[in-house]
Amino acid sequence: MYLINIVGGAFAISIVPALLFGSGPAAMAHNIQTHELLYRSGLVAHVVVTVTNIFLAVIFYEIFKVVNRRLALLDVFFILVATAIEAAGLVNQFAPLALLGSGPYATALPAGQLQALAYLPSALASVDYNIHTVFFGFDILLMAYLVLKSQFIPRAIAVLLAIDGLAYLVYSFAAMLAPGFASQLVPWIQLPALFGEGSLCLWLLVKGVNVERWKTWASAATRMPSTPMETLG
C-alpha cells in the first residue's frame, strides 16, 4: 500500500503535470483535450493516493503506538488533515474537463478566456500542495522520531526521514513567501523525499519491522500504567 501511495503520487503530482501542463493556458488546454484519458488517470491516481493515506495512517499508528501512543496519534492527525486538504483540492482539478469539454461552457466564453479559466486550477494546485505538505512535513518529522526511538527500523532511515520532513517544510514555506527562491530549490529539494520515504517503503517491503523489538516495546507499553501526566518523550 505504501508503494502504491508513492508511485501513484509521483504519477499524479509529477509525471502527468510535466507531460500535459505546457508553457501557457493554450498549450495546457490543447494537451488536456488531446490526452484527456491521461489527465483523468492522473486524477484517479491522486484519489487513490488520498485513500491509501487513511489506511497508512492507521497502519503506522498500530506499528508505533507501542513506542509513544500520543505522538503516534498526533501523527495520525497530521496525516488526516493533510489528506483532507489534498482531497479537497482535487475538486478544482476537474474544472478543466468541464470548461474544455463539449458542455455549455464551450460556447459561453471566447476560447482564450476558457483556456485561462482552465489553467487556473493548475496554479491553485501548487498552492494546495504547499499547504498540505506543511502537515505532511510534520507527519514525516514525527515518523522520524518514532523510527529513531523504536529501533525496530534502522536509525539511518530515521535520519533520512528527518531531512525529508525538513525539506517539505522549507520548500512549502519558501513557495508561499518567496516563489522565485523556491523554484530554484527544485529538483534538489525533492530528493530527500525519494531517499527518506523510498528507503522506509523499501525496508518495510523487504525486511519489515524487527518483530522481537516491537514485542519488547509492546510488552513494556502493556506493563506501563497510563496516566494523564504521561510524558511525550
The 10s digit of each residue's pLDDT in 170-197 is 999 999 999 999 999 988 998 999 999 9
Distance CA 181, CA 170 (A): 11
* For residue 233, pLDDT beyond 60: no
Mean pLDDT (whole number) for 33-42: 94
Q: Where are the domains of the chain?
A: 2-221
Report DSSP letters for 19-50, one per residue.
Answer: HH--SSHHHHHHHHHHTHHHHHHHHHHHHHHH
Distances from the Cα of 194 to the Cαs of 6, 15, 163, 182, 199, in angstroms? 9, 15, 11, 18, 8
Q: How confident is the model at residue 228 (pLDDT cuts 50, 70, 90)?
A: very low
Sign of CA pseudo-dihedral 83, 170, 64, 147: positive
What confidence score (pLDDT) does residue 106 get? 65
